[in-house]
Structures are given as structure tokens and as C-alpha cells.
Amino acid sequence: MPSETIVVVGAGIIGLTTALTLQTHLQPTQSILLIARDFPSTTSLNYASPWAGAHYRPIPGKTPQALRESAQARRTYAAFKKLVSQEPAAGIKEVEGIEYLENPPEEYLERKGVEDAYSSYLDGFRELGSGQDGRLPDGVKWGVRYKTFVVNSPVYCAHLLRRFVLNGGRKMTYDLAGLNEAFYLDANVKTVVNCSGMGLNDPKSFIIRGQTCLVRNPCPITLTRQNSDGTWSFCIPRPLDGGTIIGGTKEPDNWDPNPSPETRAKLLSNAAKWFPFTAESKGQFDVMRDIVGRRPAREGGVRIEVERIVDGKTVVHAYGAGGRGFELSVGVAEDVVGLMFEKGILRTKALL
């Protein structure tokens, strides 16, 4: 039987996780070729994953999209927990997560939504503001604490790629003109998995500009605070001495590649009100650099769908996670693999 190549397009967090997950379900006659314009060794404004904070933070909601993402996030949480204990060099660390909201949206005040997104599975979860947990900070109306994970995103992406290659995966640096081109980059390609972030010309896709600031100040927790005007402020320590991310902005369809000094000043000013400075810092941030990245988002959330095209060829779409790529990564990859089994693209390995 001739060998078959499955091409995965995109080496962001979704593409890397999907390629690695697919490897565990291949037939002996199948292999994976990972094609991308950018890999973890490169930096590009449009290659969002290495710029990410990143931390695991649930988001409650009751829409179909919110419920789907909640299920994907829950599976990612379990995978991160296992990875932390087995591979400490992967760049993921368990820390305490704290959230303070001054003007909480309705979904944060609904008991069922909070149970589904938070308390039903997060280790150490507790709501703040009553009993032994005492009162909330001034102006805060909703607060929680729980065990969560922070990620040194460049290290973790490099870790995933290294595992993929060591497991026999191949990679190619290539800037596709269109998805159909991917079918011609190796012999006998019948399936292309589209993890390209923006989907390659999907009209529902759009970018969300984010600006953050990387500082040297150490931080033992990740804290997210919603301000009364609806803006968000957060700190995310990067494991393995990677500094701390202070953020951040979410600016849909803003293509400005330049860091704004005014935005930096506002981010640091907001965070300085609650950041756990060490004594030697004297209440000042030691700035390493400004970060601007473009998160690849999509109306309706992540697209996970099979598209049959001519000549028996198939595209499996998996893109558009916006700013939640790390939180959803394992869940999305598992959903992609499940869909490929359902459609007969993957087959159960024969028992020897």
C-alpha cells in the first residue's frame, strides 16, 4: 500500500498541538508534514503564538460557542496538569490564579455558568468576598481564586515542535498561496488540516491586535482584573525565568504594528495599583520590551469542519481561536482528531 501524507498547515499553538495529537493515531502507512510560514524559531507580528502571555483562564457563557469552548478548555486544563508533572522543561507551571471584576458581565453572576466554567473542575476553586476569604478589594464586585497554569509561550511552542520532529514528523517552511497548493507539496496528499490561524481568505476571519509589556519583575501568581470601564488588566509570569507579561489590549481590526507609548503607560499604571512588587523594585516596573501581536479570530469562534473538494481530496479546518489558543489547544486538537475518525479520514490502528 502506498504511503499517504497528511499535511498540517500552520505552526501556531493550534497547528503544533493538532499535529502532535494526530501522530498518535496514524496508520503505519501515514505520515505528517507540517507546513508553515513561521516556526517557533522565528518572530513575526502575524505569528501570534510566541507573543502570547499566556495563561489558562476560563470564560463562562451559555451560547453554543461558549459551551463548546468551555469543554475544550476543560480538556486542555487536564492535559496541562499532566504535562507539568511529567515534563517540567515544557515551559508550563502551576500557579494560583486570581480574578477581580469591578463590573462583571451577566454570565459571571449566574451560578450554573460559573459551575460549568470554574468550580466543577478547577483545583482549589473558591469564591472571594465572604466567610474566611474576607472582603474583596475596593471597587471589586466579583472575585475568585483557583489553581491554574501559566505558559512560557516561545518555550512551549518549541517543545511541541521538538516532540513532533522526534516522533517522526517532518516540517517545511513555506508560504502557501492557497490551501489547494498544499496537496502538491508531497507525494500522495489526500488530506490537509488547515490550522492557518486566519483560515486563508475566510471572510469571517479578522485580527485582534494585542499590546502587552514584558517586565523583569517576578510574580508568583497570575492576576486578572476587570476595570470599571470594562477594560482588562493582567499579569502573567512566564516560567523558566521568562519575565512577566503585563497586559493588555484587545483591538479588533487594528492593523497598527507599532507599540503605543501611551498604551504602555496605561497598562503599567493600571497594573501598578495591584501588582505584588518585591521590596527591591520600589514599586516600579523594570521594562524589557513592548509586545504587539495579531490574534487570529473568527466570527462564531474556532472553525472545526471537514470540507470535501475535488478528486477525493479533503480539507479539515481548525482555526480562528482568537486570544484563547493556548487555553483551547488540546481540546481543539482532540475535536479535530475525533472528526477525522468520524469522517473516515483516520482509522483505528490494527491490533497486532
Interval 217-264: pLDDT, tens: 999 999 999 988 888 999 999 999 999 999 989 999 999 999 999 999
Quote the pLDDT of residue 350: 47
Per-residue pLDDT at 346 exceeds 80? yes
Instruction: State what percent of residues in the chain have pLDDT above 70.
Output: 97
Quote the pLDDT of residue 17: 98
| CATH code of the domain containing 69 | 3.30.9.10
d(CA 223, CA 123): 16
d(CA 17, CA 307): 21
Q: Count of domains in the chain?
A: 1
d(CA 12, CA 319): 10
User: Does any domain span residue 348?
Assistant: no
Q: Are 141 and 108 in contact (CB under 8 A)?
A: no
Q: Which residue has the higher pLDDT, 152 or 130?
A: 152
Residues 6+ apart with CB under 8 A from 57: 97, 99, 148, 222, 224, 327
Quote the pLDDT of residue 176: 94
Q: Are 217 and 278 in contact (CB under 8 A)?
A: yes
Quote the pLDDT of residue 347: 84
Mean pLDDT of the region 288-299: 95
Q: 263-285: per-residue pLDDT in tens?
A: 999 999 999 999 999 999 999 99
Domain that residue 331 falls in: 4-343
User: Does any domain span residue 143?
Assistant: yes
User: Does any domain span residue 352?
Assistant: no
Q: 154-193: per-residue pLDDT in tens?
A: 999 999 999 999 999 999 999 999 999 999 999 999 999 9
pTM recorded for the entire structure:
0.94
Secondary structure of the chain: what % helix, strand, coil (to 5)?
A: 30, 30, 40
Q: 211-228: per-residue pLDDT in tens?
A: 999 999 999 999 999 988
User: Does any domain span residue 351?
Assistant: no
Mean pLDDT of the region 119-130: 91
Predicted confidence band of residue 130 (pLDDT cuts 50, 70, 90):
low
Mean pLDDT of the region 64-79: 95
